[in-house]
Amino acid sequence: MTKDVIALTPKMPDLRTLLAGLHAGGPDLGVNTLADGAVIQLCAADGRPLVSVEAPLLVQVPGETDRLLGAGARAGAGTGPGLPDGPVWWTEARASTAVAEGGRLAGSFAGRLAHVLDGAVWPPEAASTEVVPLSSDITAIPVPPTSVPAVDVLTTRAAVVIQDRPVVAMTSWLSDALRSVTADDRALQIVTQPTTRLTLPTRTALHGHPNRWVVQDGDNGYYDGLSGARLHWQGGIFTPVTDADGNTSLAEAFTAPADTGERQLVLSLHTRRPADEDLVLGTALETAWQHLTGAAPAGWSTAEPVNLPWSTRRLTDFARSRAPHPTWLIAIGHPERPALATLRVTRTPGGIEEAITLTLGYAKDEPPPLDAIEPLAEALVAEHGLTTLITSLRTARRDLSVPPHFEPPPIPVSFTLGPDETEHMEDTRALHPPLALTPAHLGPAARPGLHYHLGDGTDPRTWSVLQHLTQRLKPA
């Protein structure tokens, strides 16, 4: 497995400290940079990369290290009593899988940073400060055919990334790899152990065929962690195993576990507002967070770990700096109430559109706040240019991570249409839909939105109700 090693330090590693860490392989190894200096590589004499180091990232959001690395990650292996709560510098090293010493080199790099800066290393067993000489005959090892450090195997059809961490997050490494392989018309396929879970942004990124989450199930081979299909390596890509009739078989390990009573509340909302200089982005998301948790989001970022304190102004400035290109962002909540959202900002002929998916986690004894949905919908209609909102409930983990086994799909709770979607609609269709659904009028009386209550999120047949409703509401 690939060795990803992370140094967590209370102070920013300066250039001298980084170079000291990079001398973990002795003075004969070289140093290169990629991505305008954002990635530093420890290289063999012939230039092939051994360890790639991402630029240090200041994580200012509470609970992020525990969410992605597990509780106690800040204690790790270090020279002191462990890191107290508060901002921490996250410096990640990724070892090449082609060289036997790669993992030890990454561990020594991180260990040296932690030693100098009184930090910690994850995983703690990887930490050392020893010099790791190269004993492998690397001249017999092919030079990697890609400059993307996250990619371990590259074929004409797929880029394979091997991960050995408890939670696979949409890190900048992985995000770069996804953009690169998509541009080359390749699939991104992540290989993990069956104990690994994904974050919601990573699951979203892998949902498009032929991207896959490939779970290595011991002696039973491989299976897709999202669909359960048994897989094999064929023609330079992981593909489903089929029988003589072309049917795909499911792995036994994908069976759904017993219901623990944990639930996730999922909101998919879309807004559209005029593109003027006073527009502030992220306010619809902040309003939803306030209504459902009593607090604003804790932080935002373009990748995981989420490192920046929540600020709609900074978020808006960032999106404007990227215009007219779309902007994709992640927002995270406070640790006591698991909540995570993805936000995509797009410039269209109709204005600035925000597509948001917000997911919140609840334990068995924590009823989701379904009674807050209609007041939230009214606020979004009145103040934030809501076009559509679908709220649903699903059986899934409170911590919002995605395990490699079956999880039931979400079940709709309500559907809301904004004023722009309803003002040209005939009243007979909007106000008297089939199945005796009577909508509530939300927002200004002159241009109201319509809110349809569909159920309590327990009856799968509600999907048919929603389908009939949306067909009825389509323009003639």
Q: Find tokens 């300066």 and name the residue.
A: 14
Tens digits of residue pLDDT in 294-304: 999 999 999 99
Residues β-bridged to residue 268: 357, 390
The two structure tokens encoding residue 424: 């040209």
What confidence score (pLDDT) does residue 466 get? 92
Partners of residue 162 on adjacent β-strands? 191
> Can you say whether the dihedral through the CA atoms of 22, 23, 29, 31 is positive or negative?
positive
Looking only at the bridges linking them, the beta strands covering 187-192 and 212-216 are parallel
**Average pLDDT value over all residues in the chain:** 89
pLDDT the model gives residue 72: 83
pLDDT at 1: 44
- Give the β-pairing of 230-233 and 238-240: antiparallel
Segments in the chain below pLDDT 50: 1, 140
Backbone angles phi, psi at 21, to 5 degrees: -65, -40
Ramachandran class of 277: left when φ > 0, alpha when ψ lies in -120 to 50, beta otherwise: alpha
**Residue 434 has what pLDDT?**
60
Quote the CA–CA distance of 119 and 78 in Å, as a whole number: 6
Which pLDDT value is given to residue 426? Answer: 59
Q: Give tens-digit pLDDT for 109-153.
A: 999 999 999 999 999 999 998 888 776 655 545 555 566 777 888
What is the pLDDT at residue 430? 58
Residue carrying the six token digits 């030693």: 115
CA distance 91 to 230: 36
3-state class (DSSP) for residue 280: coil
Quick one: tokens of 302?
A: 């373009």
Exposed e or buried b per residue across 263-274, where buried means at least 16 C-beta atoms within 10 angstroms of its C-beta: bbbbbebbbbbe
Please give the angle made by the CA atoms of 14, 15 and 20, to the nearest 5 degrees.
100
pLDDT at 140: 46
